[in-house]
Structure 1
């Protein structure tokens, strides 16, 4: 499912115009990005948590030049689903298509 499909589905189920759904979703995505980039976590009960994880510094390899490359510690965004979310997905018997 793409973002356009998600917007269409929400608009059909709620009766809200697609433009309003688009604006709302874009605002949510922007708020999630802004919060995570400032180090804040977002907890949504019954859905999950948007968090940042710290990756330790390590030595990587450029295999084309065969040289070691230092990769500094950094943060990455992550999503941790709630128990209810995981339980819903576990009910799935087979992937559609």
Structure 2
């Protein structure tokens, strides 16, 4: 399923126009991104938690040349699924 499919399914389920549903989905994604950018986590009970994780600086290797390179520390988005989501995926 891609974003368009998701929007179509939500619009059909709620009986709302696709344009209105698309605006909602875009807003939701934007607000999650803004919260993560501000260092906050987003908790959706039963579904999961969006958070940022820190990656330490490390040494890597260029696969083409074999040269050693330094990879800078960074923050990356992460998702931790909730119990209800885990159960629905495992068929429970």
TM-score interval w.r.t. the shorter chain?
Answer: over 0.9
Q: Please tell me the root mean square deviation across aligned C-alpha atoms, in Å.
A: 1.1
Deviation of 1:79 after TM superposition, in Å, equals: 0.6
Confirm whether residue 78 of structure 1 aligns to residue 62 of structure 2: no
1:6-85 counterparts in 2 under 5 A?
Answer: 6-85=6-85
Alignment length (residue pairs): 92
Moved over 2 A (4+): none
What is the alpha-carbon distance in structure 2 between the residues aligned to residue 72 and residue 62 of structure 1?
14
Which sections of structure 2, spanning at least 5 residues, go unmatched?
Answer: none
What is the alpha-carbon distance in structure 2 between the residues aligned to residue 37 and residue 69 of structure 1?
27
Which sections of structure 1, spanning at least 5 residues, go unmatched?
Answer: 93-97
What is the alpha-carbon distance in structure 1 between the residues aligned to residue 29 and residue 23 of structure 2?
10
SS at match of 1:91: coil
TM-score when normalising by structure 2: 0.95
